[in-house]
Amino acid sequence: MLIRFAKPSDVKPSEITPRSVYLDRRAFLRTAAVAGAGAMLPLIPGGAQAGEKLSDVAKTPYGQDETLTSMMSVTSYNNFYEFGPDKRDPSRHAGDFKPKPWSVKVDGLCAKPGEVAFDDLISPHKLEERIYRLRCVEAWSMVIPWVGIPLGDVIKRFEPLGDAKFVAFETVMRPDEMIGQQRPLLNWPYVEGLRMDEAMNPLTILGIGMYGEVMPNQNGAPVRLVVPWKYGFKSIKSIVRISFVADQPRATWNEQAPHEYGFYSNVNPDRDHPRWSQRRERRIGELLKRDTLPFNGYAEEVAQLYAGMDLINKDF
């Protein structure tokens, strides 16, 4: 099966619109007319949730020196194959997805397994805003103000056993609402996994929103993983199951094309993808490319996790 990835250069300047403009419908229409834009994307894509504010979000120092990617770009140009393989499919097709009510099943090697309602999963923890970079294997990147909670804090509540070495995640399976699941684009449902020390790292969060608002459907509502030093496909969306396991779990893209996508999938400019270089990247909204940073710029916090591993030929 041939899977076509859109290139960062496919994004038209007219589709990268500041939030202050696109929230004002008339201003956006004027801007689009002047720019000669083609077919318009939804102004606030993602269904009824879009625009719902999150309260009591604590600001953190993460990424405060970064320039944010516009919310329009983040919500209209992204990968979520459950809604289709094109970068614009999620914003086009996610409107009918129903992220409420929601629950997450926690099972496997832990002392306190169970089915946890979304509110109960989130409510004991303080929401934090963390500005993290998102780097995709197609050599484009974004800077996003995620809102979420540390995954490690959630894991501790379920008391994983000593032989639980990995954490496995699974996306919801709803082909009636997720049009992409009606086709064999991938082996559904989407699954991912982290080593336990990766999952417990303070940088890893369960994201429930961004830009101070509830997570839009097309970006993984209502809860997704955010692992900023790994390529974006590791940050699984719309999670319905978390399992503690002894052996390395399945990971969708690693199974789909193991010679292209390793289980660890750390951002590594020294390991080229078989079809393109990873040494340079283009941040959405910028014209010029920049050097790709090892571990996406988070080497100081995570490089020690991989001491002694072969991150180019074996443990990529």
Domain-wise residue ranges, the chain = 45-306
The Cα 37–Cα 31 span in angstroms is 9
Paired strand residues for 243: 107, 168
The type of residue at 65 is D
- pTM of the entire predicted model: 0.85
The Cα 153–Cα 151 span in angstroms is 5
Helix count and strand count (H, E) for the chain: 9, 13
Per-residue pLDDT of the chain (316 residues; tens, 9 = 90+): 444 444 434 444 333 334 433 333 333 333 333 333 333 333 333 443 557 999 999 999 999 999 999 999 999 999 999 999 999 999 999 999 999 999 999 999 999 999 999 999 999 999 999 999 999 999 999 999 999 999 999 999 999 999 999 999 999 999 999 999 999 999 999 999 999 999 999 999 999 999 999 999 999 999 999 999 999 999 999 999 999 999 999 999 999 999 999 999 999 999 999 999 999 999 999 999 999 999 999 999 999 999 999 999 999 9
Domain 45-306 architecture: Alpha-Beta Complex (3.90)
CA proximity to 221, closest of 203, 206, 208: 208
As a whole number of Å, the end-to-end CA separation of the chain is 23
For 279, which DSSP code?
A: S
CA proximity to 219, closest of 63, 44, 58: 44
The Cα 147–Cα 145 span in angstroms is 7
